[in-house]
Structure 1
Amino acid sequence: MHVALREIHDSDLPVFFRQLNDPESLRMAAFTPKDPADRDAFDAHWLRLRSSEVVLRTILADGDVVGSAAVYGEPGEREVTYWVDRAYWGRGIATAALRALLTVVPERPLYARAAADNTGSRRVLEKCGFQQTTTARGYAQARGEEIDEVVLTLRG
Protein backbone atom coordinates (compact mmCIF):
# COMPACT_ATOMS: atom_id res chain seq x y z
CA MET A 1 0.00 0.00 0.00
CA HIS A 2 1.42 3.38 -1.00
CA VAL A 3 1.11 6.00 1.78
CA ALA A 4 1.56 9.70 1.04
CA LEU A 5 0.83 13.07 2.59
CA ARG A 6 -0.58 16.12 0.84
CA GLU A 7 -2.04 19.48 1.71
CA ILE A 8 -5.59 19.34 3.06
CA HIS A 9 -8.41 19.99 0.57
CA ASP A 10 -11.91 21.16 1.45
CA SER A 11 -13.20 17.82 0.15
CA ASP A 12 -11.23 16.00 2.89
CA LEU A 13 -13.23 17.56 5.72
CA PRO A 14 -16.38 15.43 5.35
CA VAL A 15 -14.16 12.34 5.49
CA PHE A 16 -12.42 13.61 8.64
CA PHE A 17 -15.81 14.38 10.22
CA ARG A 18 -17.05 10.85 9.51
CA GLN A 19 -13.83 9.38 10.93
CA LEU A 20 -14.13 11.51 14.07
CA ASN A 21 -17.55 10.05 14.77
CA ASP A 22 -16.57 6.38 14.77
CA PRO A 23 -17.26 5.18 18.35
CA GLU A 24 -14.27 2.80 18.59
CA SER A 25 -11.88 5.41 17.18
CA LEU A 26 -13.19 7.96 19.67
CA ARG A 27 -12.68 5.56 22.58
CA MET A 28 -9.10 4.80 21.53
CA ALA A 29 -8.20 8.45 20.89
CA ALA A 30 -9.88 9.38 24.20
CA PHE A 31 -8.92 13.08 24.13
CA THR A 32 -11.46 14.35 21.64
CA PRO A 33 -13.85 17.29 21.20
CA LYS A 34 -16.67 17.59 23.72
CA ASP A 35 -19.28 16.86 21.05
CA PRO A 36 -17.70 15.26 17.99
CA ALA A 37 -21.09 15.24 16.23
CA ASP A 38 -21.31 19.06 16.31
CA ARG A 39 -20.56 19.84 12.67
CA ASP A 40 -20.47 23.62 13.22
CA ALA A 41 -17.82 23.25 15.94
CA PHE A 42 -15.88 20.83 13.72
CA ASP A 43 -15.93 23.28 10.78
CA ALA A 44 -14.90 26.20 13.02
CA HIS A 45 -12.04 24.13 14.47
CA TRP A 46 -10.71 23.21 11.03
CA LEU A 47 -11.06 26.80 9.82
CA ARG A 48 -8.90 27.94 12.76
CA LEU A 49 -6.35 25.20 12.15
CA ARG A 50 -6.06 25.91 8.44
CA SER A 51 -5.46 29.62 9.04
CA SER A 52 -2.81 29.05 11.72
CA GLU A 53 0.82 27.95 11.85
CA VAL A 54 -0.19 24.31 12.27
CA VAL A 55 1.39 21.93 9.76
CA LEU A 56 -1.59 19.94 8.46
CA ARG A 57 -1.57 17.05 6.03
CA THR A 58 -4.06 14.60 4.62
CA ILE A 59 -2.97 10.96 4.75
CA LEU A 60 -3.55 9.05 1.52
CA ALA A 61 -3.34 5.27 1.12
CA ASP A 62 -3.30 4.19 -2.50
CA GLY A 63 -4.86 7.57 -3.30
CA ASP A 64 -7.75 7.29 -0.81
CA VAL A 65 -8.16 9.79 2.04
CA VAL A 66 -7.64 7.72 5.19
CA GLY A 67 -6.75 10.31 7.81
CA SER A 68 -4.86 13.39 8.84
CA ALA A 69 -1.59 14.28 10.52
CA ALA A 70 -0.39 17.53 12.07
CA VAL A 71 2.28 19.29 14.07
CA TYR A 72 1.12 22.15 16.29
CA GLY A 73 2.25 24.30 19.19
CA GLU A 74 4.95 26.75 20.08
CA PRO A 75 8.58 26.15 19.02
CA GLY A 76 10.27 23.87 21.53
CA GLU A 77 6.88 22.50 22.63
CA ARG A 78 5.46 21.30 19.30
CA GLU A 79 3.36 18.16 19.30
CA VAL A 80 2.41 15.63 16.64
CA THR A 81 -1.05 14.22 16.21
CA TYR A 82 -2.64 11.92 13.69
CA TRP A 83 -5.90 10.12 12.97
CA VAL A 84 -6.32 7.12 10.72
CA ASP A 85 -9.68 5.64 9.73
CA ARG A 86 -10.30 2.50 11.79
CA ALA A 87 -10.80 0.44 8.62
CA TYR A 88 -7.07 1.00 7.94
CA TRP A 89 -5.66 0.24 11.40
CA GLY A 90 -2.90 -2.35 11.63
CA ARG A 91 -1.56 -1.85 8.10
CA GLY A 92 1.42 0.40 8.88
CA ILE A 93 -0.30 3.50 7.48
CA ALA A 94 -0.01 5.61 10.64
CA THR A 95 3.68 4.74 10.96
CA ALA A 96 4.40 5.58 7.32
CA ALA A 97 2.42 8.82 7.56
CA LEU A 98 4.14 9.91 10.76
CA ARG A 99 7.57 9.16 9.28
CA ALA A 100 6.67 11.30 6.27
CA LEU A 101 5.41 14.10 8.52
CA LEU A 102 8.67 14.05 10.47
CA THR A 103 10.57 14.82 7.26
CA VAL A 104 8.29 17.81 6.61
CA VAL A 105 8.92 19.15 10.14
CA PRO A 106 12.61 18.49 10.95
CA GLU A 107 12.73 20.53 14.17
CA ARG A 108 13.32 18.68 17.42
CA PRO A 109 12.29 18.01 20.05
CA LEU A 110 8.75 17.03 19.14
CA TYR A 111 6.23 15.62 21.58
CA ALA A 112 3.23 13.31 21.42
CA ARG A 113 0.54 12.16 23.81
CA ALA A 114 -1.54 9.01 23.83
CA ALA A 115 -3.98 7.31 26.14
CA ALA A 116 -1.86 4.89 28.16
CA ASP A 117 -3.99 1.96 26.99
CA ASN A 118 -3.76 2.93 23.30
CA THR A 119 -1.01 0.43 22.54
CA GLY A 120 -1.40 0.83 18.77
CA SER A 121 -0.70 4.55 18.83
CA ARG A 122 2.11 4.14 21.32
CA ARG A 123 3.72 1.55 19.05
CA VAL A 124 3.45 3.87 16.01
CA LEU A 125 5.21 6.62 17.95
CA GLU A 126 7.94 4.28 19.21
CA LYS A 127 8.60 2.96 15.67
CA CYS A 128 9.16 6.58 14.63
CA GLY A 129 11.72 7.17 17.39
CA PHE A 130 9.58 8.70 20.13
CA GLN A 131 10.40 7.60 23.67
CA GLN A 132 8.14 7.78 26.68
CA THR A 133 9.33 10.56 28.95
CA THR A 134 6.52 10.92 31.48
CA THR A 135 2.96 10.08 32.34
CA ALA A 136 0.03 12.31 33.17
CA ARG A 137 -3.68 12.16 33.89
CA GLY A 138 -6.25 14.03 31.90
CA TYR A 139 -9.95 14.16 31.30
CA ALA A 140 -10.80 12.02 28.28
CA GLN A 141 -13.92 13.53 26.74
CA ALA A 142 -14.67 10.40 24.70
CA ARG A 143 -14.62 8.23 27.80
CA GLY A 144 -16.23 10.65 30.21
CA GLU A 145 -13.52 10.18 32.84
CA GLU A 146 -9.97 11.02 33.80
CA ILE A 147 -7.47 8.52 32.42
CA ASP A 148 -3.73 7.91 32.29
CA GLU A 149 -1.82 9.20 29.31
CA VAL A 150 1.78 8.90 28.22
CA VAL A 151 3.93 11.72 26.93
CA LEU A 152 6.59 10.78 24.41
CA THR A 153 9.50 12.81 23.04
CA LEU A 154 11.42 12.68 19.79
CA ARG A 155 14.83 14.23 20.27
CA GLY A 156 17.31 15.39 17.63
Structure 2
Amino acid sequence: MNAVTFYTKRVNQATSFEFNVFDNQFATENLAVRKVLMSMLESVAHRLSDLEVEYNDSMLAEKLGGRRAGELLRLLGATKENTRENQSNGVVVSRTFRAPLTEERYDYFYNQRDIATLAHYRLQEGLEDRIVFYFTRYLQLIAPDQEAYDKFLAKLESFSLPYKLVPIA
Protein backbone atom coordinates (compact mmCIF):
# COMPACT_ATOMS: atom_id res chain seq x y z
CA MET A 1 0.00 0.00 0.00
CA ASN A 2 1.24 3.48 -0.83
CA ALA A 3 1.57 5.95 2.00
CA VAL A 4 -1.45 8.13 2.70
CA THR A 5 -0.51 11.76 2.07
CA PHE A 6 -1.46 14.55 4.45
CA TYR A 7 -0.84 18.20 3.64
CA THR A 8 0.15 19.90 6.87
CA LYS A 9 0.09 23.53 7.89
CA ARG A 10 0.80 25.18 11.24
CA VAL A 11 -1.60 27.85 12.46
CA ASN A 12 -0.40 29.20 15.83
CA GLN A 13 -0.37 26.17 18.17
CA ALA A 14 -2.62 24.10 15.87
CA THR A 15 -1.66 21.83 12.99
CA SER A 16 -3.96 21.18 10.06
CA PHE A 17 -3.74 17.72 8.49
CA GLU A 18 -5.57 17.64 5.15
CA PHE A 19 -6.33 14.34 3.48
CA ASN A 20 -7.11 15.21 -0.14
CA VAL A 21 -9.45 12.54 -1.52
CA PHE A 22 -8.38 13.04 -5.15
CA ASP A 23 -4.64 12.95 -4.44
CA ASN A 24 -4.89 9.78 -2.38
CA GLN A 25 -7.10 8.01 -4.95
CA PHE A 26 -9.08 5.93 -2.46
CA ALA A 27 -12.83 5.49 -2.53
CA THR A 28 -14.50 7.20 0.43
CA GLU A 29 -15.64 3.81 1.74
CA ASN A 30 -12.11 2.33 1.61
CA LEU A 31 -10.88 0.95 4.93
CA ALA A 32 -7.76 3.15 4.80
CA VAL A 33 -9.92 6.28 4.52
CA ARG A 34 -12.14 5.09 7.36
CA LYS A 35 -9.01 4.55 9.48
CA VAL A 36 -7.92 8.13 8.74
CA LEU A 37 -11.25 9.43 10.07
CA MET A 38 -11.13 7.10 13.07
CA SER A 39 -7.61 8.34 13.89
CA MET A 40 -8.74 11.94 13.60
CA LEU A 41 -11.71 11.31 15.86
CA GLU A 42 -9.65 9.57 18.52
CA SER A 43 -7.04 12.33 18.56
CA VAL A 44 -9.56 15.03 19.57
CA ALA A 45 -12.47 12.99 20.99
CA HIS A 46 -12.35 14.55 24.45
CA ARG A 47 -12.55 18.05 22.93
CA LEU A 48 -15.50 17.56 20.56
CA SER A 49 -18.76 19.18 21.64
CA ASP A 50 -20.77 20.05 18.54
CA LEU A 51 -21.68 18.82 15.09
CA GLU A 52 -22.65 20.78 11.99
CA VAL A 53 -24.00 18.96 8.94
CA GLU A 54 -24.84 20.21 5.45
CA TYR A 55 -26.78 17.88 3.19
CA ASN A 56 -28.87 17.80 0.05
CA ASP A 57 -32.24 16.08 0.52
CA SER A 58 -32.36 14.28 -2.81
CA MET A 59 -28.70 13.18 -2.76
CA LEU A 60 -29.02 11.77 0.76
CA ALA A 61 -32.29 10.03 -0.09
CA GLU A 62 -30.69 8.56 -3.22
CA LYS A 63 -27.79 7.15 -1.17
CA LEU A 64 -29.80 5.82 1.75
CA GLY A 65 -33.45 5.78 0.76
CA GLY A 66 -35.94 8.27 2.15
CA ARG A 67 -36.73 6.45 5.39
CA ARG A 68 -33.10 5.76 6.32
CA ALA A 69 -32.08 9.31 5.41
CA GLY A 70 -34.73 10.68 7.77
CA GLU A 71 -33.63 8.29 10.52
CA LEU A 72 -29.98 9.36 10.10
CA LEU A 73 -30.83 13.06 10.23
CA ARG A 74 -32.89 12.54 13.40
CA LEU A 75 -30.06 10.49 14.95
CA LEU A 76 -27.61 13.31 14.24
CA GLY A 77 -29.93 15.90 15.81
CA ALA A 78 -31.69 17.58 12.89
CA THR A 79 -34.97 19.23 13.87
CA LYS A 80 -37.22 21.77 12.19
CA GLU A 81 -36.02 24.31 14.72
CA ASN A 82 -32.28 23.92 14.13
CA THR A 83 -32.27 23.34 10.35
CA ARG A 84 -31.81 26.20 7.92
CA GLU A 85 -32.14 26.20 4.16
CA ASN A 86 -29.29 27.24 1.86
CA GLN A 87 -30.70 28.74 -1.32
CA SER A 88 -29.38 29.73 -4.71
CA ASN A 89 -31.64 31.89 -6.90
CA GLY A 90 -34.60 31.06 -4.67
CA VAL A 91 -34.07 27.29 -4.88
CA VAL A 92 -33.11 25.22 -1.83
CA VAL A 93 -29.79 23.57 -2.70
CA SER A 94 -28.97 22.18 0.74
CA ARG A 95 -29.88 22.28 4.41
CA THR A 96 -27.64 22.79 7.42
CA PHE A 97 -28.14 21.98 11.09
CA ARG A 98 -26.05 22.18 14.23
CA ALA A 99 -26.45 19.89 17.25
CA PRO A 100 -24.54 18.76 20.33
CA LEU A 101 -22.17 15.87 19.64
CA THR A 102 -23.47 13.07 21.85
CA GLU A 103 -21.76 9.72 22.34
CA GLU A 104 -24.28 8.12 19.96
CA ARG A 105 -23.52 10.70 17.27
CA TYR A 106 -19.77 10.30 17.77
CA ASP A 107 -20.20 6.53 17.37
CA TYR A 108 -22.04 7.09 14.09
CA PHE A 109 -19.03 8.92 12.62
CA TYR A 110 -16.53 6.48 14.11
CA ASN A 111 -18.32 3.45 12.69
CA GLN A 112 -19.64 4.77 9.37
CA ARG A 113 -18.84 2.69 6.30
CA ASP A 114 -18.53 5.61 3.85
CA ILE A 115 -17.15 8.92 5.10
CA ALA A 116 -19.03 10.69 2.27
CA THR A 117 -22.54 9.58 3.24
CA LEU A 118 -23.05 13.18 4.32
CA ALA A 119 -21.76 15.80 1.87
CA HIS A 120 -20.28 18.26 4.36
CA TYR A 121 -19.81 18.01 8.09
CA ARG A 122 -17.84 19.60 10.88
CA LEU A 123 -17.07 18.16 14.28
CA GLN A 124 -16.27 21.06 16.54
CA GLU A 125 -14.97 22.14 19.91
CA GLY A 126 -17.42 24.95 20.60
CA LEU A 127 -17.23 26.99 17.41
CA GLU A 128 -13.71 25.81 16.49
CA ASP A 129 -13.47 23.22 13.74
CA ARG A 130 -11.56 20.08 14.70
CA ILE A 131 -12.61 17.68 11.89
CA VAL A 132 -14.06 18.80 8.56
CA PHE A 133 -15.26 16.73 5.62
CA TYR A 134 -15.94 18.84 2.56
CA PHE A 135 -17.89 17.48 -0.42
CA THR A 136 -15.63 14.50 -1.20
CA ARG A 137 -12.71 16.88 -1.71
CA TYR A 138 -10.93 16.61 1.61
CA LEU A 139 -11.02 15.38 5.17
CA GLN A 140 -9.21 17.66 7.59
CA LEU A 141 -8.08 17.48 11.20
CA ILE A 142 -7.19 20.66 13.03
CA ALA A 143 -5.09 19.33 15.90
CA PRO A 144 -5.10 22.15 18.48
CA ASP A 145 -1.91 21.13 20.31
CA GLN A 146 1.04 18.75 20.39
CA GLU A 147 -0.95 16.13 22.33
CA ALA A 148 -3.60 15.85 19.59
CA TYR A 149 -0.86 15.91 16.92
CA ASP A 150 0.97 13.02 18.58
CA LYS A 151 -2.23 11.04 19.23
CA PHE A 152 -3.23 11.31 15.57
CA LEU A 153 0.07 10.00 14.25
CA ALA A 154 0.21 7.27 16.92
CA LYS A 155 -3.27 6.10 15.97
CA LEU A 156 -2.35 5.94 12.27
CA GLU A 157 0.64 3.81 13.23
CA SER A 158 -1.48 1.55 15.46
CA PHE A 159 -3.70 0.94 12.42
CA SER A 160 -0.55 0.07 10.40
CA LEU A 161 -1.47 2.86 8.00
CA PRO A 162 1.65 4.25 6.31
CA TYR A 163 1.55 8.02 5.92
CA LYS A 164 3.54 10.88 4.49
CA LEU A 165 3.39 14.47 5.78
CA VAL A 166 3.81 17.21 3.17
CA PRO A 167 4.19 20.68 4.69
CA ILE A 168 2.56 23.55 2.80
CA ALA A 169 2.96 27.28 3.39
- Higher relative contact order structure (alpha carbons within 8 Å, sequence separation ≥ 6): 2
Q: Do they superpose with TM above 0.5?
A: no
Give TM-score, length-normalised by structure 1. Answer: 0.35
